Amino acid sequence: MGKIKPTEAARPVEQSDETKTASDIWQADYDAQIGSDQKIQNRSGIEIKPLYAPPDESDDAYQDKLGFPGQAPMTRGIYPTMHRGRTWSQRQLIGLGRPEDFNARIKKILSAGSTALSLIPCNSVYRGFDCDEVAPELLGTCGTVVNTVEDMEICLRDIPIDKISVGLNDPLPFSLLTLMLTVADKRGIDWATLTGTSNQSDYISHFVANHMFYRLSLPGSRRTLLDTFEYCASTVPKWNTLSIVGQHMQQAGATPAEAMGLAISTALQYAKDCQARGMDPDQYLARFTFFFDISISFFEEIAKFRAGRRIWARLVKERFGVTDSRATRFKFHAQTSGCDLTRQQPLNNIARVTAQAIAGIFGGLQSMHTDSYDEVLSTPSEGAATIAIATQNILKHEAHLCDVIDPLGGSYYIESLTDDMEDKILGVIRQIDEQGGMYRAVENGFVQRMIGVSAMAFQDKVESGEQVIVGVNAYEVEEDASSRPVLERPAQSAMQAQVDQLTRFKAERSQSAVDRALKILRETCQSPRDNVFAAELDAVRVGATHGEVIAAMRDELGFGQPLMVA
Amino acid sequence: MTMDNSGGAKSGEDKNRGIIARLLDGDPAALARAISIIERNNPASKDILTAIQPHVGKALVVGFTGPPGVGKSTLVNAYIGELRRRQKKVGVVAVDPSSPLSGGAVLGDRIRMSEHISDSGVFIRSLASRGHLGGLSPMTAHVADLMGASGFDIVILETVGTGQSEVEMTEIADVKIVISAPGFGDDVQAIKAGILEIGEILVVNKADLPLAEHTIGQLKAMLALRTPTDWTVPVLATTALDGKGVIDLADAIDRKAAHNAQAFNQRAPIQRDPEWRLRQILADAAGKRIETYVRHTESARLKALLHALQDGSIDIDAAVDDVIDALHEDVLNDANA
Amino acid sequence: MNEVASPPRVLMTKIGLDGHDRGSRIVTAFLRDAGMEVIYTNPWQDVSSVVNLALQEDVDVVGVSSLATDHLLVPKLMKGLKDAGLAHVRVVIGGIVPDEDEANLIKAGVSKIFHPGTPREDIIESVGRLAEDATNERPSL
């Protein structure tokens, strides 16, 4: 069960490569990609190589299980240079209050060292509502209110979106993406230059856990995702439309192995959908990305990611006949887990986030968000958010965690644990296969029950004290309430101004144009041959709001109800 | 534990009259409170149940059962929607099993029915089986009666198929729906569990699954083996998540109700024979009286009877005669006392 | 006719916009294991829905699981319950509630706030006691 069969090298092998070893190939790729001189010395004067591997080239076990970075089975990393060549994107979630607040904060964060942006919209936006449709005290507290093209323009003012990778936390039907693309048009930016991800767009995970982001029915979501995928594949070629979420399941209580297994199963389900649509696996799989939680179970997380990479690279070939190695890359963004953070002695969370971040880095992530220490209490304060970024910079520049690719590779523990995690993960994938795939497993409640059992098991461990949580069930300390960080919430007047702005926006646009476009959107929903994303774009271009677009689509495609199991 | 502690001047009877009047008037708060009273077997139950006797049997009781995971709640939810479109007022009794260890329960059927929460034409009550071995709360039938008395046209009874509870559903429901789904482990398992016997309408949910046709075929084949009655059991395909097949289901339920009514010579198709339900109530109550006597009395007469049964000097029919005789004497004695 | 003791009936719900339900599921399991009947609902209920639920299910306690600022809606819930003749129903909140808001919520009538890390026994004991209070204070109809 789960043992890797020998595989060929991921990339097509050229004639002249026949005499080259895998190591040679890796070295050549590395040299080609690494750019300027990359000699690194540590404090003691020792030169640090980018990669450490067994000296014996004929070691089949090494080739089968680990391989070189960027080569099958991808265990050590999906690129030849990994963080030594280009570090992970520092992609901190930013979202609070009004678009102006977002813009101010993102500028600060970029100048503090963040290299990519991630917009997190208000919960009202997640639920598919405009700001004039919800109780005002709920607005802007966990994310930025973005309902219109105007809002998006303000969010992205002075931000070079043709140069910076943009993460939009933007579940189906990708209204934020339509707003951003419209802004790009207005600025004369070629969509081909836009890079980024529709983070957390995986709708299956929302039906099962977290629940924040579903809006449309399951069949409606399926259709919308495929339409958007197809549309963007040719028009926004560098955009990652699909972000499959392991984080939701893990935060709901799934074990790390389960979260990985469920995420991969979900991805396989989507891949099947794309295949049924007639899309080319080499094309669409290259646009699949993942999003994971990094818990503080340090080594387990590292092994989880390494195993995930290995499994994915093999399964996409086995199940979809992929030939291009780019389509076998397990790309992922990860976020340090808020579930491990405590309300008690919040400054301790800085240490927790640091440990989690290191695990993520050693796990080979492509992009990371580090939580602020006050994340458990409210939306992060500016000071706390700055520390979170500094943490990443310290790990990169001071602890030199980027110097070596997969530095724990070869460790007896890590390799054994990677194998064990692989077995567990494959076990979960098999169980989902037996259920008939992820849709069936979710409809049957199988996934929900699996997660529920693990959640309770963990809870029991915490209560019994078996799992120590410092400051909570051990090492408790009398705390002074005044030492708690101050809550940051947008002023009621500010949010009221946002609502007023929306009213004004609606008054100033051409209502007849909007009505016409929404009518066409509705008709498109009922017409399977047409592309709903294209219709959404058209509606947004003439001033339809996020809430109006989603309401129309909900009417036509069905309102999503979470598939919860009590 | 006293139910009402308002400290006011109302007498017990007055209080009950208040609830009863409001219940009959369709006040949901009174209905909810009355259900609680019945569940607790509170002294006020008697008054309430007596007061609703004239209304017993008015609502059509439709029972849905099936193994966990087939999509029962989702189907019930879709059916409620269809009933509301037909302008019917709907009461729902959703029963989930109590934990045999703790006596507690998680009642989660509401999750799939949330779209009806603000509709005043729908009243949903979640009940736990409360230790009743069969899975159905013993009070379930009374709760259905209360809902009928409160003006609901249809009362949906939703239970988890645990074998025993299906049998009990036959006591309560006018139309009995058994739901299965294809590819659910062993399709035939549910059928073997005997629920096929009580199903008057069989539904194969998740009919979009590839094995659906196979399951439908299996069920039809099994039905062909049954002794034919004057009601032909239909096998319907639904996809509850999309609402497909729900109109056909509602129509089939109406047809069955009409069929029942015809058997009792009623004009209005949705109305069932009130006498039938009253017989049920009477039989239950009488049976309980007899049971209490036989199981718990320590009288010399009963002891002698049990001895006689044991050594075979009396047969069971004669023993029952004696029991009824003894109870009859008790009744006479009470009347004269 | 012997009256039987009724297990406490608790409504477990979420109001507002948040959807995370790991905490409410776990507490639901605690309460069930302690012998209570828990009516579990999906998130995003509005105040009038919760009032309706509490009424139809004749619950003793409403447990609101809250993240973000959803707890700010609870005072409206207290009023809604009172207006519907359900002032006896006890309301507790579990989840992330900033200290600044706690006093206001208690003043609005919330019986207890459970922060993350509250021991199981405390929750069970509190909810059980509140359920008993609610039952004793039921107004007559």
CB atoms within 10 A of CB A411: 13
Among B5, B40, B43, whose Cβ lies nearest the Cβ of C6?
B40
Please report, for chain A, the start and end positions of each structural domain, with discontinuous segments joined by +: 82-136+158-464, 492-557
Residue B86 counted as domain residue? yes
Query: Closest chain B residue to C4 measured between Cα atoms?
Result: B40
> Which range, of B88-102, B190-204, B280-294, averages the lowest pLDDT?
B190-204
Residue C4 counted as domain residue? no
pTM score of the predicted model: 0.83
Residue C46 counted as domain residue? yes
Per the CB < 8 Å rule, is C99 touching A484?
Answer: yes
Same domain, B188 and B303: no
Residue C106 counted as domain residue? yes
Same domain, B97 and B176: yes
CA distance C66 to chain A (A): 12
Q: What CA–CA distance (Å, rounded) separates A236 from B247?
A: 44
Q: What is the pLDDT of residues C11-69, one digit of tens each?
A: 999 998 888 888 899 999 999 999 999 999 988 889 999 999 999 999 999 999 998 88
The CATH number of residue C118's host domain is 3.40.50.280
Residue C22 counted as domain residue? yes
Residue B294 counted as domain residue? yes
Per the CB < 8 Å rule, is C52 touching B117?
Answer: yes
Among C33, C58, C137, whose Cβ lies nearest the Cβ of B36?
C58
Per the CB < 8 Å rule, is B104 touching C6?
Answer: no
- Supply the mean pLDDT for chain A: 90
Between residues B29 and A3, the one the model is more confident about: B29
Q: Which residues pair with A118 in a beta bridge?
A: A93, A167
Per the CB < 8 Å rule, is C96 touching A134?
Answer: no
Q: What CA–CA distance (Å, rounded) separates B258 from B279?
A: 21
Task: Determine the 3-state secondary structure of B304 from DSSP.
Answer: helix
Per the CB < 8 Å rule, is A443 touching B242?
Answer: no
Identify the domain containing residue B24 by its residue range: 13-52
Subunits next to B (3 or more Cβ pairs <8 Å) are: A, C
Per the CB < 8 Å rule, is C55 touching B32?
Answer: yes
CA distance A70 to chain C (A): 37
Among B19, B43, B117, whose Cβ lies nearest the Cβ of C53?
B117
Per the CB < 8 Å rule, is A443 touching B108?
Answer: no
Q: What is the pLDDT of residues C110-133, one digit of tens each?
A: 999 999 889 999 999 999 999 999
Among C49, C85, C140, whose Cβ lies nearest the Cβ of B8?
C140
Among A142, A339, A463, whose Cβ lies nearest the Cβ of C68?
A142
Residue B263 counted as domain residue? yes
Chain A hits for C68, CB-CB cut-off 8 Å, are 123, 138, 141-142
The identity of residue B56, as a single letter, is: V
Residue C141 counted as domain residue? no
Per the CB < 8 Å rule, is C3 touching B123?
Answer: no
Q: How many independent structural domains does chain C possess?
A: 1
- Look up tokens 């916009």; give the residue: C17
Give me the helices (H) in A399-445, please.
412-435, 438-443
Same domain, B27 and B170: no
Nearest to A198 by CA among A228, A235, A163: A228
Same domain, B72 and B205: yes
Dihedral pair phi/psi, residue A321, rounded to 5°: 65, 30
Cβ atoms of B98 and B129 within 8 Å: the answer is: yes
A96 confidence band (pLDDT: 50, 70, 90)? confident
Torsion of CA A373, A379, A382, A386, to 10 degrees: 40
Residue B246: both structure tokens together: 């729900």
The pLDDT value recorded for residue B9 is 47
Q: What CA–CA distance (Å, rounded) separates C39 from B108?
A: 6
Per the CB < 8 Å rule, is A212 touching C73?
Answer: no
Residue C127 counted as domain residue? yes
- Look up tokens 């567990």; give the residue: A424
B→A interface, C-beta within 8 Å: 68-69, 71, 106-109, 111-112, 114-115, 183-184, 206, 209, 241-242
pLDDT (mean) for B151-162:
87
Write out the CATH class of domain A82-136+158-464: alpha beta
Residue C100 counted as domain residue? yes
Same domain, B233 and B313: no
pLDDT (mean) for A290-313:
97
Q: Which residues pair with A333 in a beta bridge?
A: A291, A367
Dihedral pair phi/psi, residue B310, rounded to 5°: -65, -45
The identity of residue A339, as a single letter, is: C
Domain stop point among B269, B299, B322: B269
Give the sheet arrangement for strand B90-96, strand by strand: B122-128, B90-96, B154-160, B60-66, B175-180, B201-204, B235-237
Q: What CA–CA distance (Å, rounded) separates C7 from C29?
A: 15
List, as ranges, residues 71-130 from C with C-beta within 8 Å of B.
84-85
Task: Determine the 3-state secondary structure of A239 from DSSP.
Answer: strand
Q: How many independent structural domains does chain B possess?
A: 3
The pLDDT value recorded for residue A491 is 86
- In order of A203, B107, B165, B262, C93, the CA distances from C23 in angstroms are 22, 17, 32, 53, 11
Cβ atoms of A375 and A504 within 8 Å: the answer is: no
Per the CB < 8 Å rule, is A436 touching B183?
Answer: yes
The pLDDT value recorded for residue B269 is 36
The answer to whether the complex's ipTM is over 0.90 is yes
- In order of A428, C19, C127, the CA distances from C63 in angstroms are 34, 15, 9
Chain B hits for A219, CB-CB cut-off 8 Å, are 241-242
CA distance B180 to chain A (A): 12
Q: What is the pLDDT of residues A448-460, one digit of tens each?
A: 999 999 999 999 9
Cβ atoms of B92 and B76 within 8 Å: the answer is: yes
A68 confidence band (pLDDT: 50, 70, 90)? very high
Identify the domain containing residue C86 by its residue range: 9-134
Cβ atoms of A283 and A237 within 8 Å: the answer is: no
Q: What CA–CA distance (Å, rounded) separates B21 from B11?
A: 15
